[in-house]
Amino acid sequence: MRIDIITVSPELIKSPFEYSIIKRAIDKELIEVHFHDLRKYALNKYGKIDDYQFGGGAGMVLMIEPIDKCISELLTQRNYDEIIYMTPDAKTLNQQTSNILSTAENLIILTGHYKGVDQRVRDKFVTLEISIGDYVLSGGELAAAVLCDSIIRLIPGVLGDETSALTDSFQDNLLAPPVYTRPAKYDDMEVPEILLSGNFPKIEKWRHDKAVKRTENIRPDLFNLKDE
């Protein structure tokens, strides 16, 4: 997979790609991530990329020309499965969307800033708009990093243990069950005996029951999402 990220602040978004699982995926050449500084596509030598909004109102809007230049250049080089725009006024990211996107060959991710981008960018180029939750961030960069992390860990070969992405919370609309490691007894707190039993069918059932219970308590809404 190749991901092209278009941003006003490349430095803000780069570091999550330099550690841990994502770094290993890049080192193993399972993914390629390219950062494009929108300012390099600016209209003038001062790096102008935004302007006041028509009709008045606080906040600057990213202009269409620099974004058009950047996206058009990428489109001459390859086809993209999706051109994604990160914005709070969009559908919320969920595991199903990440699963689908993890099968893509090429993705462009455009991150907004200030008041966002000129609507015509969305009309002309964007094929998918994603928010990461019902709260406002200062820019789309951190949201793009979240999206990339959730996608990249699903690509075959990225996680060492092939099964572990499948047992994550949300893969079956259930929260994950509790997990324990050594020591088996800490002060007066003991690991549930079943986990030490070696009876794997029973352990699986215990885990499933705990997952259901946790979901009922914390996220009952997830039970209504099954067919979405």
User: Applying CB under 6 A, which of residues 62, 139, 177, 211 lies at the interface with ligand 6GU?
Assistant: 139
User: Applying CB under 6 A, which of residues 16, 66, 88, 177 lies at the interface with ligand 6GU?
Assistant: 88
Interface segment toward ligand 6GU; rule CB under 6 A; list 80-88, 101-109, 161-169, 200-208:
80-88
140 binds ligand 6GU (CB under 6 A): yes
Please give the Cα distance from 41 to 21 (Å, whole number): 32
- Residue 147 C-beta: closest distance to ligand 6GU, Å: 8
Residue entry with tokens 């215990």? 206
| Burial of residue 24 (number of CB atoms within 10 Å: 0-12, 13-18, 19+) | middle
98 binds ligand 6GU (CB under 6 A): no
117 binds ligand 6GU (CB under 6 A): no
Cross-strand partners of 106: 2
Q: Let me know: does 91 contact 131? Beta carbons within 8 Å.
A: yes
143 binds ligand 6GU (CB under 6 A): yes
Please give the Cα distance from 176 to 63 (Å, whole number): 43
Which residues of the shown chain bind ligand 6GU in the complex (CB under 6 A)?
86-88, 131-133, 135-137, 139-140, 143
